[in-house]
Amino acid sequence: MNNTSKVNEPIATRISGPIVTASGMHATQMYEVVQVGSLGLVGEVVRLIGDYATIQVYEDTAMLKPGAPIFCTGAPLSVWLGPGLVGNIYDGIQRPLPGIEAHSGAWIKRGEKVDPLDTEKHWTFEPLVKKGETVTTGQAIGKVKETPLVNHIIMAPPDINGTVLSIVDKGDYRIIDPIAEIETESGRREITMLQRWPVRVPRPIAERLRITEPLITGQRIIDTFFPIGKGGAAAIPGGFGTGKTITQHQLAKWSDAEIIVFIGCGERGNEMTDVLREFPELKDPRSGRPLMERTILIANTSNMPVAAREVSIYTGITLAEYYRDMGFSVAVFADSTSRWAEALRELAARLEEMPAEEGFPASLPTRLAQFYERGGAVTTLAGNRASVSIVGAVSPPGGDFSEPVTQHTRRFIRCFWALDTELANARHYPSIHWLHSYSEYVEDVGPWWKKETPDWIELRTEALTLLQREERLQQIVKLVGPDVLPDSQRLILFVAEIIKDGFLAQSAFEENDMYCTPERQVMLLRTMMILYRRGKDLIELGVPLAQIRNLACVPRILRAKAEFGNDELDKLKELEQNVMGETETLAKEYAKEASLICKPLST
């Protein structure tokens, strides 16, 4: 009898896009990685019913037929962690795109298997512990100079406590070479520079901490008006063309996080191409070194398999947690979580799950919470303070912020930067609307700002109040025109325009304007608010608004953001003195002409 098939051998029985149903899977576990078909397509078990398993395949299943063999690996979907991550570019399941190009050309072949890290490259390892010492979970046992900007800490795995039996001397080793041996309660364990970690399991920490320090981005509307703390979570929602991707690029370039993880999940290929071309050429503003020396890119564009888009978020956040455990502040930028949610919707439909609002799965809020809660400021297992900050772009269809992804995201974030279509059409960038955005980190980071610039909270509150009053006055202006307003209200319109043009709008192409230090941000805003306060006093004195508008300092205030660099604070101070001097002179001249007593103006 020539029957080559075996009873209960795992085989595919049904194929629906990236979802494969297989029989003979009684020995498998949830979230176990399997290889499907003769090409060994990477998949993950997402449902088990008796002898049947539902597999989510992360590659194109074209030409796959029922009866295709299934090979189980016995392990969950995991990422490789070790030296070589920084500066690399991966797809959603951590296949290195430069390595694939070198191996088989520009196209990713189905079943392509390239190690995420180079196992033959030698790294200079420097031990930090000695033979006989006791090490605990997460403790540094050595370090490697991964890039000129990153000292990669080799840590004891989270499940290891014990005594160092041996450790290599300083020298060059591969990531798969044993570098130490530790005696644990369960026996001897060899340690290498390579670790593996399941992407759906958060890495352990010692304690969650209160956020106390802002993530400085150099973007004035964010840092001054709507700050995010180190370890915070923020969302950038906006319709098509409002600048979500560009805003995230600016944040990735200029934020003061030590490690950047940029996840392109489901974005258009040309946008991701711009990122891949631009980032290697960018200079780190603090060190002058290439920005890629502290950046990891994950590229999973809209034409790649939808299942890999779903897992790319977890791949990126796991890499971020790994560097957080070394004591770094890490910033994760996900562009966009709406495309990720659409992948969840498509996979849920293939799995025949009951749809919720707008067809999204009922588990959408839970999945969003699982992602955002993996950020935060923490004490690591080694006792260091570190953080993972998460910024997720949201692409609501038609710019409708009431759709499910935006609404559920707002439940799990504390910073909301709402992009506005009208501002984008007016070429006002970043197009973050100051009345529709908010930040709940103001109180948390307030002490830090008070230490740096004591009047930050006062200036911020005064400026936002002014902008809110200007919005209400604009409703009247649209009906009857500005001429019917008294000069005191027209002054509000005048100064609000100065704030919008001279402070909130920021050019990514002006050398002095693309990045603004906190000190310069506050000095710019203070100068504008001094003009407003003194303008109010002048109008009460009877000075016409036209004379205030014609002051020589007004055009200089508008030019200051591009004219003065971050190291020219003395010139900004001089401009502030000019505003005070010119308004003082105008008050005295008018008082003299009107035979009035000139009262001191506001400071």
Q: What HEC string does 112-178 produce?
A: CCCCCCCCCCCEEEEECCCCCCEECCCCEEEEEEEECCEEEEEECCCCCCEEEEEECCCEEECCCCE
CA separation for the pair 136, 129 (Å, rounded): 11
| Residues of the chain scoring pLDDT < 70 | 1-7, 594-599
CB-CB contact of 503 with 452 (8 Å): no
CA-CA distances (angstroms) from residue 197 to 82, 204, 527? Answer: 11, 11, 52
Up-side HSE of residue 598: CA atoms within 13 Å toward CB? Answer: 18
Q: Which residues pair with 300 in a beta bridge?
A: 265
pLDDT recorded at residue 208: 96
Summarised one tens digit per residue, pLDDT across range 324-350 is: 999 999 999 998 899 999 999 999 998
Task: Determine the length of the chain.
Answer: 603
Tokens representing 264? Answer: 């392109």
pLDDT recorded at residue 270: 73
CA separation for the pair 3, 12 (Å, rounded): 18
CA separation for the pair 269, 275 (Å, rounded): 10
Tokens representing 179? Answer: 């570098």
Which pTM value belongs to this model?
Answer: 0.93
Peptide bond connecting 157 to the previous residue in cis, omega within 30 degrees of 0? no
pLDDT recorded at residue 274: 76
CA separation for the pair 570, 591 (Å, rounded): 31
- Which residues contact residue 189 at a Cβ distance below 8 angstroms, ignoring those fewer than 6 apart? 160, 162, 181, 182
Of 122, 164, 126, 171, the residue nearest 144 (C-alpha): 126
Rg of the chain in Å (alpha carbons): 29
- Eight-state DSSP code of residue 290: B
Mean pLDDT computed over every residue of the chain: 92
The CA angle 583-587-589, to the nearest 5 degrees, is 115
**Domains of the chain with CATH codes:** 11-76 (2.40.30.20), 118-193 (2.40.50.100), 207-442 (3.40.50.300), 456-594 (1.10.1140.10)
Element of type H or E holding 532: helix 518-541
DSSP alpha helix (H) spans, 214-363: 220, 244-254, 269-278, 306-325, 337-350
